[in-house]
A and B are shown apart, each in its own frame.
Chain A
Amino acid sequence: MSPQLDHNAQHRPGADLLIRGARLLDPAAGIDQEAELLVRGGQVAAIGADLERPDGAEVVDAAGLHAFPAFVDPHVHLRTPGREDEEDLDSGTRAAAAGGYCAIIAQPNTDPVVDSAPIVESLRERARAEARIPTGFMAAITRGQKGEGLTEMAELAAAGAFGFTDDGLPVVRAGVLRQALQYQRLAGLPIALHEEDPSLSAGGAMHEGAVSALLGIGGIPSISESTMIARDAAIAGYEGGCIHIQHVSAKESVAAVENAKAAGVRITAEVSPHHLTLTDEAVRALDANFKMNPPLRAEDDRQVLIEALRSGTLDFIATDHAPHAREEKEQPFETAPFGITGLETAFAVLYTHLVKPGVLPLDVIVDRLSAGGPVFGIDQPTLAPGAPANITLVDLEAEWQVGEAGYESRSANSAWDGETFQSRVRMTVAAGGVAYRERSFAIGAVA
């Protein structure tokens, strides 16, 4: 049985919508046509020409817009419990909805760490009260993320966790990961790994290369990630376990994932919008909004990531949305914390920097923004009739400046703050209800 996502659907019951004029693009379902799309009771009822508007249905004038299956992000940090000043379930899911997402999974590196069933249960309860879109929760692999004793994985699975990860930290000891993979046979669920060998990365704050040599900042070499992926893939292969590699950043890491896949290891991997569009050159200004772990790498790494996303070696895009308080990022680069926000900007940055210049086709980006769902037991959203309505309406021509009207997130640590993007999410339907409507996007006629 797959774990269940939670959200508060009370104020957004199954919608009745007639979306007119949009170009429907659902690469996984083979849909690419200009057509009307009818949502009834929160489900896609029909797509076609000149559909009849049922009584009470809202007509959404989507002329010139694109309709995509809404996005799924299995890697976000909602800072709850513990740092609700940076993000909470309400603000984080608002940010996700504004970015076109219909489902997200939060990471367990909170305070306290999500490492016991009661914490998962209390988070699920809060999600049912506060979350604007369906939200799931990962649990830690090791107690307190200390890298030693395993959590009660079976009980956590029964409580509804979506998987296990010590994200933010690697599982340093190979023997501990091996035991987790053995125990996975009982608990099920994927084990997601932040790959980093601290004996190689210690003291580092950015990619090791020409820019770190210039800035005198400790480097995090690419091999600190790739050697751990190779190690963990070998362990997973030996145990027949299933692992997911989080935020792949380096070309050597792509090779390690490729080798593991070729060897038949049950392995998936994700890549972030920032690693696909930025490089360590951006760190020259020493702005802490370009500090994240793994770090922005070199241009040849970025090119390899793009090709690996196209080929499927990297399975999907995840933002690693990591809100931080303003005062934490207003520090010298080396002492500021790792991480940037990403939910509200993911599609726009990928469209502006990859699709529009012709680097990657639109259908690849649209598919990879929701392909992470199935890895964690969430059905990939689709526009096909009969499916729950999970729809994102996007205006590919709209220009907007990041942060000009503030953020839905409680935090403002975006690497693209102030940058002008092309393409804007106008409306998001999640689990059958309207979860987001951009301010300028007028509500259509209701009979």
Chain B
Amino acid sequence: MKRDLLSIADLSRADIERVLNRAESFAEVSGREIKKVPTLRGRTVINLFYEASTRTSSSFELAAKRLSADLVNIKSVGSSVDKGESLKDTVHTLSAYDPAAIVIRHPHAGAAGLVSRWTAASVVNAGDGKHEHPTQALLDLYTLKRRLGGLDGVKVWIVGDVLHSRVARSNIIGLTKMGVDVTVCGPPTLIPRDVESLGCRVRWSLDGIGDADVIYALRMQHERMTGSFVPSLREYAAQYQIDSRRLAPNQLLMHPGPVNRGVELSAEVIDSPQALIVQQVESGVVVRMAVLYELLTGGGDAARAARGRAGQAAPTEPQPA
């Protein structure tokens, strides 16, 4: 694997499979009473979050802690970012602590790529604007693979606001890479022009959603309602809400969270046995452990050393602490 995880597009199918297998081995650790391994002992991981986040930041935090890394959480509110420090200067400052990895969430596309130019640490993109959210795609792949056994030929419909969704973009790329047949569906105002070039099909209505093995509903963000992307939440729900009429018993349901109950999903499907939403959250920790492990030991280390900045603790295999 490369030194950084900036985009799911940077991973080969074999890379993705390695991460998913590694996550599987960490899942076994997570089942124990003491969920820690000493793999990253003495190494520092910095969580640098320029946007509000619950799932992603907490699961990265748990992942780093379960790998025994020292963790620093930085949120833009209350930090020097508040005082007008540029991203570049913040990254230079944090790099002076010699972190092994910087996990960054930022409201603008390409921010993680910029950070990787300014630091010797491995950079993990935890969401950059509407661009990508590669660890979300990996945890979704992991969740789905665990449930279905395999991914080749599986039919997934991604439903909702694709235009503003980094989750959709990373998932279209990641799922397609793993042999999944992807259809995106949503209001024509919220489907990016030429999105077919990413290798998916486009549908404007839910007609035909019966063909899907998996329905992946996206969060309908309230701020999109103020524009004229959709006439009203009511109209959106009438056209695109996944409810018990539209979700067949043989179909699985996914959602990246947080859910707007009664908008993109009805309450009964959220609580149905077909919903994998809680499993997705569970997967978040082990998949992010696997990403940190793969980047900070083995391949990622070699790439970092090649850039003349090794000198960090030797990696160890995961073992119960």
Number of CB contacts from chain A to chain B under 8 A: 68
Residues A286 and B110 in contact, CB atoms below 8 Å apart: yes
Smallest CB–CB gap between B174 and chain A, Å?
Answer: 13
A122 CB–B CB distance under 8 Å? no
Residues B130 and A216 in contact, CB atoms below 8 Å apart: yes
Contact among B106, B109, B114 for A217, CB-based, below 8 A = B109
Smallest CB–CB gap between B164 and chain A, Å?
Answer: 8
Residues A331 and B109 in contact, CB atoms below 8 Å apart: no
Residues A332 and B87 in contact, CB atoms below 8 Å apart: yes
Distance, CA A212 to CA B128, complexed state (A):
14
B108 CB–A CB distance under 8 Å? yes
Distance, CA A221 to CA B114, complexed state (A):
26
Q: How many residues of B contact A (CB 8 A)?
A: 25
Q: A216-B169, A332-B87, A335-B108 are in contact. Are A210 and B194 (CB under 8 A)?
A: yes
A55 CB–B CB distance under 8 Å? no
B255 CB–A CB distance under 8 Å? no
Contacts of B114 in A (CB 8 A): 286, 330-332
Contacts of A334 in B (CB 8 A): 108-110, 129
Interface residues on A, range: 20 to 34
Smallest CB–CB gap between B42 and chain A, Å?
Answer: 32
Contacts of A332 in B (CB 8 A): 87, 106, 108-111, 114, 128-129
Contacts of A210 in B (CB 8 A): 194, 197
Residues B108 and A333 in contact, CB atoms below 8 Å apart: yes
Smallest CB–CB gap between B126 and chain A, Å?
Answer: 15
Contacts of A219 in B (CB 8 A): 192-193
Q: A216-B130, A216-B166 are in contact. Are A208 and B88 (CB under 8 A)?
A: no
Residues A214 and B193 in contact, CB atoms below 8 Å apart: no
Contact among A208, A209, A286 for B109, CB-based, below 8 A = A286
B113 CB–A CB distance under 8 Å? yes
Smallest CB–CB gap between A199 and chain B, Å?
Answer: 11
B195 CB–A CB distance under 8 Å? yes
Contacts of A215 in B (CB 8 A): 109-110, 131
Residues B131 and A209 in contact, CB atoms below 8 Å apart: no
Distance, CA A221 to CA B194, complexed state (A):
12
Contacts of A286 in B (CB 8 A): 109-110, 113-114
| Chain A contact residues: helix, strand, loop or mixed | loop
Residues B194 and A213 in contact, CB atoms below 8 Å apart: yes
Q: A216-B129, A217-B129 are in contact. Are A330 and B193 (CB under 8 A)?
A: no
Count chain B CB atoms within 10 A of each CB in A210, A285, A286, A332 and give the residue with the most. A332
Distance, CA A286 to CA B117, complexed state (A):
12
A327 CB–B CB distance under 8 Å? yes
Contact among B88, B106, B110, B192 for A213, CB-based, below 8 A = B192
Q: Who on chain A is nearest to B108 by CB?
A: A332
Q: Who on chain A is nearest to B114 by CB?
A: A332
Contact among B88, B106, B132, B193 for A209, CB-based, below 8 A = B193
Residues A209 and B194 in contact, CB atoms below 8 Å apart: yes
Contacts of A214 in B (CB 8 A): 169, 197-198
Contacts of B111 in A (CB 8 A): 332
Distance, CA A214 to CA B200, complexed state (A):
12
B86 CB–A CB distance under 8 Å? yes
Distance, CA A330 to CA B195, complexed state (A):
28
Smallest CB–CB gap between B97 and chain A, Å?
Answer: 21
Contacts of B128 in A (CB 8 A): 332
Smallest CB–CB gap between B157 and chain A, Å?
Answer: 18
Within 8 A of A (CB), among B153-180: 164-166, 169
**Could you give 15 example pairs across A and B, Cβ below 8 Å?**
A213-B195, A213-B197, A214-B169, A215-B131, A216-B129, A216-B131, A217-B109, A217-B129, A217-B131, A330-B86, A331-B86, A331-B114, A332-B109, A332-B114, A334-B110
Minimum-distance CB pairs A-B, first 4: A286-B110, A216-B130, A332-B108, A210-B197
